Structure 1
Amino acid sequence: MMPSFDKSSQPKDVMLLEAQQQPWRHGFLTLMRMLDAHAKDAPHIGQSQRPQQDNFRLGQQASLAFAPREIARVVEKNGTPHIYLFGLGMLGPNGALPIHYTEQVRERTEARRDQTLANFLDIFHHRSFTHLYRAWAQSQAAAGLDRVEDEAFTNYVARLTGDEPSELRHSPLPPHARWASAAHRVRGPRDPEGLVSSLKRFFGVPVKLDEYRLQWMPIEPQDRCQLGMSNESAMLGLGAMVGEKVPDRQTRFCLTIGPLNMDAYLRLTPQGSASGKDLPALVELVRSFIGFEYVWEVELLIRSDTAPASTLGGGTQLGWSTWMDQQKTTTTKAITGMVLEPENYVLSH
């Protein structure tokens, strides 16, 4: 009887046992990825210098039939899993060697119980299959996350956007949330739709962007129009302007976020809530799109059925989470909460 794997609580042992009992339900790459993820102290599959560094063995099942599936069988020998494939090797109808080699290996293995030739060819099969898996894994972002300390795909995406991962370790915005928007940020012109899409995906709430908000920009004292001055700011038709401020609609926009429940609303306020603060992450994500070039504000909307009524001795705060004359309601109609410029609060802290 073929030795079986120990059916323990280890995911690796459970999956190997399932692959031994039902090999047709498993794929070669999936099984290799599982073995690679659980071998934390060993080199990556395909990067080992000696076969002894691999805690498994790969080989090919000598068969004259076209491969009906990837994995032929999985067995345990002296505590080491041996995984045999139908294809991808030198034998079989699709192999590199002439077909009579497959016949010879099959005849010696099954008729004479002699594994010598098969084991010799499996030395090369093991190396070839592990290199094949490594070539696949290096191009897969998800496979790189199985062993986070050696993950490299993040660096590729980060540098497309001009970011250095080592400099962003202490950022309030999670790294993968920042680089999930790389497709939008890698382009020269940044569009409002890309910013709104990234905010919606990260926070999971409705977001709307209102462009061309009116603001009054102060004029520097040396550029103001003053009588008796001989510079251009005092000459009609050149630089003379009336007043100390000028209207501007080109450099200011507003993000409307919501309607939100009470906890999500408080998380986006400068003081945050008991469950955490989202305002620093919001600022970092917006900065990654626009830098410091624009002035922007946030208008927070809250669902009326979650807004608390103002009572003496209650936990609401004036200017933050207080609404006068709030009647008990079951509707989800949005009411306006705080309107703030997040940059002012983040920079002040």
Structure 2
Amino acid sequence: MDSSHNTDKQTWQDILHKASEKPWRYGYLSLMRFFGAQYPLQLPIGDAVRPQQEPFRLGQSPSLIFAPREIASTSLTSEGKFRIQLFGLGLWGANGPLPMHYTEIALSRRDSNRDSTLVDFADLFHHRYLTQFYSAWQSAQSAGGGLDRQDAEEFSFFIASLSGQSLEEFAESPLPSHPRLAAGAHLVREARNPDGMTSTLSHYFGVPFTLEEYVLHWIAVAPEERTRLGIPGPASVIGEGALVGQMVPDRQHKFRLIIGPLNLDNYLHFLPNGRDLPRLIEWVRAFIGYEYEWEIQLQLNPRSAPPAQMSSDQRLGWTTWLGQSMNDLPVAGMTYEPEQYSSIRQL
């Protein structure tokens, strides 16, 4: 038996122990959904041909009282099967289809005579019925069927369709599909706003993000559009298309993402070879595509900035600062354009 199965079994033993101590905190559907998610290699609940293929047993505990809760008891059988007994949804009890004296007979034989044959026989049908009941419920729950088991992924497809996205586009992306789908409310709007981007990035990475708009940058002028003496054309008309130099200033097509203040570990994650940079690039591309130029400015917590020292593993221009800050203002870190480093191997 592999270690992953042992881990799952131990997890379920903990859940059963908690459910036996406080059964009112657990429901049948939620307990079975957790069970199905813990054993993704098993057949979906309700699809097994024989009970031997399922590592659990479901049944109903006969009782003459109205059900105070769904779960009556949980235990582990001698065969290692998880046994879950319910108060309702079966043949016995005040809400069951059988007359009450059948419940009295089953209860008397089990408790007085220590003979659970009748209860066990009814549980053969209870087990099959309850698994089919859960399977019918789960088939109508897109979240339960699509998130718990990867082989029945439907929920992501539904959410992606609402936001006009395709799961096939996410296959080669370093950004997982679920975070991108969670931001569908921001991505579905054609007019993207800075607050939507910064709130999404802050929530995903767990660090502060702010966006500075209208950042000054220089746009290179194509050689054929430059002003040259003796060459007629629109670029030679003073006051209309004439330009001085090879570049022009612009503030309409670039913004800056300010990240921080960060501790040193998070700061390293956003460097050009940091592990979070590919996901950050994918997030920005998802919001604005390739239309705008952008850069990031890293800010470091003053208490986390190590002073430069000889014979250390610090990198000049990357993780070195002269002296220590005497105030609580963030320390300026690296400022660069991530798109220029998108192909660098990440550490």
When the two structures are superposed, what TM-score results if normalisation uses the length of structure 1?
0.76
In the alignment, structure 1 residue 65 sits paired with structure 2 residue 65: yes
When the two structures are superposed, what TM-score results if normalisation uses the length of structure 2?
0.77
TM-superposition CA deviations, 1:48-96 (whole Å, max 9, x none): 344443333333344453221112234666734443322334654445x
1:291 to 280, 289, 292: 289
* Pair 281,81 (structure 1): closer, same or farther in 2 beyond 3 Å: closer
**What is the CA–CA distance in structure 1 between the aligned matches of 2:107 and 2:312, rounded to whole Å?**
83
- 1:6 aligned residue: none
TM-superposition CA deviations, 1:76-117 (whole Å, max 9, x none): 66734443322334654445x4xxx23143134235679788
In the alignment, structure 1 residue 129 sits paired with structure 2 residue 130: yes
1:256 is displaced (CA, Å) by 0.8
Aligned residues: 331
* Pair 12,305 (structure 1): closer, same or farther in 2 beyond 3 Å: closer
Which secondary structure state, in structure 1, belongs to the residue aligned with residue 215 of structure 2?
coil
* Pair 102,41 (structure 1): closer, same or farther in 2 beyond 3 Å: farther
Farther-moved stretch of structure 1 (163-172 vs 293-302)? 163-172
In the alignment, structure 1 residue 54 sits paired with structure 2 residue 54: yes
Which secondary structure state, in structure 2, belongs to the residue aligned with residue 107 of structure 1?
helix
* Pair 58,348 (structure 1): closer, same or farther in 2 beyond 3 Å: closer
1:315 is displaced (CA, Å) by 3.7
* Pair 155,286 (structure 1): closer, same or farther in 2 beyond 3 Å: same
* Pair 107,302 (structure 1): closer, same or farther in 2 beyond 3 Å: closer
- 2:100 aligned residue: 103
Residue pair 2:254, 2:292 contacting (<8 A) in 1 also:
yes
**What is the CA–CA distance in structure 2 between the aligned matches of 1:342 and 1:164, rounded to whole Å?**
25
- 2:328 aligned residue: 332
- 2:270 aligned residue: 268
- 1:172 aligned residue: 174
- 1:300 aligned residue: 298
User: Which amino acid counterpart does residue 109 of structure 1 have in structure 2?
Assistant: A
User: Which amino acid counterpart does residue 42 of structure 1 have in structure 2?
Assistant: Q
**What is the CA–CA distance in structure 1 between the aligned matches of 2:75 and 2:303, rounded to whole Å?**
61
**What is the CA–CA distance in structure 2 between the aligned matches of 1:22 and 1:153, rounded to whole Å?**
32
1:23 is displaced (CA, Å) by 4.2
- 1:84 aligned residue: 85
Residue pair 2:60, 2:85 contacting (<8 A) in 1 also:
yes
1:212 is displaced (CA, Å) by 1.5
TM-superposition CA deviations, 1:242-296 (whole Å, max 9, x none): 3344433222100111112223222212144xxxx32222212211211111100
Q: What does residue range 304-319 of structure 1 map to in structure 2 within 5 Å? A: 304-319=302-317
Which secondary structure state, in structure 2, belongs to the residue aligned with residue 10 of structure 1?
helix
**What is the CA–CA distance in structure 1 between the aligned matches of 2:273 and 2:30, rounded to whole Å?**
46
Percentage identity across paired residues of the two chains: 44
User: Which amino acid counterpart does residue 56 of structure 1 have in structure 2?
Assistant: F
* Pair 232,94 (structure 1): closer, same or farther in 2 beyond 3 Å: farther
User: Which amino acid counterpart does residue 106 of structure 1 have in structure 2?
Assistant: T
In the alignment, structure 1 residue 11 sits paired with structure 2 residue 11: yes
**What is the CA–CA distance in structure 2 between the aligned matches of 1:178 and 1:312, rounded to whole Å?**
43
**What is the CA–CA distance in structure 1 between the aligned matches of 2:269 and 2:93, rounded to whole Å?**
62
Which secondary structure state, in structure 2, belongs to the residue aligned with residue 307 of structure 1?
coil
**What is the CA–CA distance in structure 1 between the aligned matches of 2:21 and 2:262, rounded to whole Å?**
50
